[in-house]
Amino acid sequence: MNSPIKTEVAIIGAGPTGLSLACQFIRYGVDFVIIDKKDDITKFSKALGVHARTLEVYEQIGIAEKAVSQGTIAGKARILEGGEIRGEVDLSNVGKGLSQYPYMLVLEQSKNERLLYDYVLAQGKDVLWQTELETLTQNENGVTTTIKNTNGETSTIKAKYLVGCDGAKSPVRHLLNLKFEGSTFERIFYVADARVDWKFSHDALQVCMAKHSVVAFFPMPGENRYRIVGAFPEEFSKDEGDVLYEEIERRIKEEADLNLDISQVNWFSTYKVHTRHVENFRKGRCFLAGDSAHVHTPAGGQGMNTGIQDGYNLAWKLAFVLQGKADEKILDSYNSERLENAENLLKTTDQIFNFAAGDAWFTNLIRTYIFPKIMGTALKIEAVRKEFFRRLSQIGINYRGHTLSRHGGDKNFEVKAGDRLPYFLMDGVSIFDRLREPKFHILVFSDGENDFHEIENELKNDAMDFQIIPLYPQVTEIFGSEKPFMILLRPDNYIAFLSSEISAEKVKNYFREIVE
Residues contributing to the site for ligand FAD (CB under 6 A):
12-18, 35-38, 46-49, 109, 132-133, 165-167, 171, 191, 290-291, 298, 301-305, 307
DSSP states along 405-468: -EEES----SS-TTSBPPP-EETTEEGGGG--SSSEEEEEEE-SSS--HHHHHHH-BTTEEEEE
290 or 418: whose CB is closer to ligand FAD? 290
166 or 350: whose CB is closer to ligand FAD? 166
Q: How far is the CB of 278 from ligand FAD (least distance, A)?
A: 12
Q: Give the separation between CA 353 and CA 359, rounded to whole angstroms.
A: 11
Say which DSSP state 98 is in. T
The helix (H) or strand (E) run that includes residue 487 is strand 485-489
Q: How far is the CB of 242 from ligand FAD (least distance, A)?
A: 19
CB 372 within 8 A of CB 302: no
18 or 408: whose CB is closer to ligand FAD? 18
Q: In what order do the strands lie in the sheet with 440-446?
A: 406-408, 495-499, 485-489, 440-446, 464-470
Q: How far is the CB of 40 from ligand FAD (least distance, A)?
A: 10
102 or 164: whose CB is closer to ligand FAD? 164
Strand 131-139, strand 142-149: pairing: antiparallel
CB 32 within 8 A of CB 7: yes
Q: How far is the CB of 19 from ligand FAD (least distance, A)?
A: 7
135 or 457: whose CB is closer to ligand FAD? 135
Q: How far is the CB of 132 from ligand FAD (least distance, A)?
A: 4
Q: How far is the CB of 472 from ligand FAD (least distance, A)?
A: 34
217 or 413: whose CB is closer to ligand FAD? 217
Report which of 245, 309, 4 is spatially closest to residue 144, judged by C-alpha positions: 4
Q: How far is the CB of 216 from ligand FAD (least distance, A)?
A: 11
CB 463 within 8 A of CB 320: yes
Q: How far is the CB of 277 from ligand FAD (least distance, A)?
A: 13
Convert 373-387 into a string of H (helix), E (strand) and C (coil).
HHHHHHCCCHHHHHH
Could you count the other beta carbons within 10 Å of the beta carbon of residue 117?
A: 18
12 or 322: whose CB is closer to ligand FAD? 12
CB 129 within 8 A of CB 39: yes
80 or 175: whose CB is closer to ligand FAD? 175
Q: Give the separation between CA 258 and CA 208, rounded to whole angstroms.
A: 9
